[in-house]
Structures are given as structure tokens and as C-alpha cells.
Amino acid sequence: MKKITCQLFLMLVIITSAVAQTKRNNGGKILYILRLEYKDRQVDELVKHRLDSLGYAVTFADESDSPSRAEGFDMVLISSTVSSQRFAGKYADVKVPVMMWENDIQDDMRFTGRYKGVDFGEVEKEHYLWMVNAPHPLSGGVPAGMAVAYHKDQPMGWGKPGLGAAIIATMPGQPDKAVIYGYEKGATMDYDFIAPARRVMFFLDNTTFPLLTPTGIQLFDAAVKWTIGKN
């Protein structure tokens, strides 16, 4: 517990010190979906602090809330603290851009096929990414090749997206396992589902945000910016 608390404190220091150096966005309203009554809530609070520092207006909503909550927001973020069984694909049809890092709902959200371990999954220990689409805004200026996402090995989600996806990063040596990917509005997702708005999958797990390297933070910021439509 002390170790996690120290990591959270250090992350807050890094984020706070970066505010003065970060050009504020024009803003945007983000609906942040999480399990409000959950032990890892402090990590979601840390993510919110980062988003606040970038000029976004963030509102928390519980996983049990109706998808109609998304109306009036510029973007929906889905944390991995949601229960995949209860949450499933309830936000699949919203006409608002969605970014998520709950690995087990990729199929329900039409990001991938249905078979866990084949179409989507998670590795327990990894901290490298293989960047494959450097020109895309989702890459956030990170060059092609190996990138260090975590300070040490941590869980990392992956998926095999549909043909309409822009794949940004994969597991090193495993090009069929995408860890950052996105769909443009109108792109064909899995199940021949047409994306109602932009959709992005990011590789985080419940407690791994504080362990992102500066490169990892750069990629996270770029993913949010692209999803909400700022580039």
C-alpha cells in the first residue's frame, strides 16, 4: 500500500509540474465511466487529475448509469474498473467518441471478435510497445519502433481489431496483437458494425496509469486528443 501511495504521489507531482509547460486545449466535456465504489478509485482520480490539467472538463459516472448520460458530452472514457459482465456493450451505439481500456469488453463494444485469448486478451508482464504507425496523430509524435510504455512490467491489454482500424502499436514481436488502435467515424469495426463516432482502445489496466513513462503519458494524451476530435 505504501508503495502504491508513493507511486501515486510521484505521478501527481509529475502531472502538476507539467501543467505550466502544457498548452491548454480548447477544452471538451468528458464523461468518465468507472465503478464508483471500487478499491482502485484513487487511480481513476489520478487520471481525472491529468485530464483536468490538460483543460478538459471531466465528470465521473458509475457503470450502472444509462448510456443516455453521454448526451451533451464530447467524449466518453471507459475505465477498466467497470465490471465487464455487467457493463458489456452498453455504450457501443452512442454517437459520441469513446476511448476505453477495459480489455474484456472489446468484443461487446464491437472493437474485436468474440473469443477471449484469440480476438482479445491481456499479458501479465510487459512494458514495451512496438510503434507501427508513426504518422498517425494517435502516435503523438512517438517514432516508429520500440517504445517504453511502463517503468516496469505490468499487465497490458491487446486486441485484434477489424479491418477498418488504424493500428498504432502492437506487442513487440506479435504484430497481430494491437495495444493501441482506433476507428474513425464511419469505419467498419468488427461484426460489420459501422463506428458511430471515433473509437479508441488503449492498453492500460486498473492500476497501471501511475506507472506510465513520459512516453506512455505522451501516448495517452494523444489518444484522448484524437478521440475527442482535437486533431
Q: What is the separation of C-alpha 37 from the centre of its chain, rounded to a whole number of angstroms?
A: 21
Q: What is the separation of C-alpha 41 from the centre of its chain, rounded to a whole number of angstroms?
A: 16
Residue 23 pLDDT more than 50? no
Q: What is the CATH number of the domain that holds 35?
A: 3.40.50.880
State percent of the chain over pLDDT 90. Answer: 84
State percent of the chain over pLDDT 70. Answer: 88
Averaged pLDDT, 9-24: 49
Q: What is the pLDDT of residues 207-226, one digit of tens each?
A: 999 999 999 999 999 999 99
- Give the pLDDT confidence score for residue 58 in this predicted structure: 98
pTM of the model: 0.88
Please report which confidence band the pLDDT of residue 5 belongs to, taking 50, 70 and 90 as the band edges: low
Average pLDDT of every residue of the chain: 91
Q: What is the pLDDT of residues 81-138, one digit of tens each?
A: 999 988 989 999 999 999 999 999 999 999 999 999 999 999 999 999 999 999 999 9
Domain count along the chain:
1
Domain of residue 99, residue span: 2-228
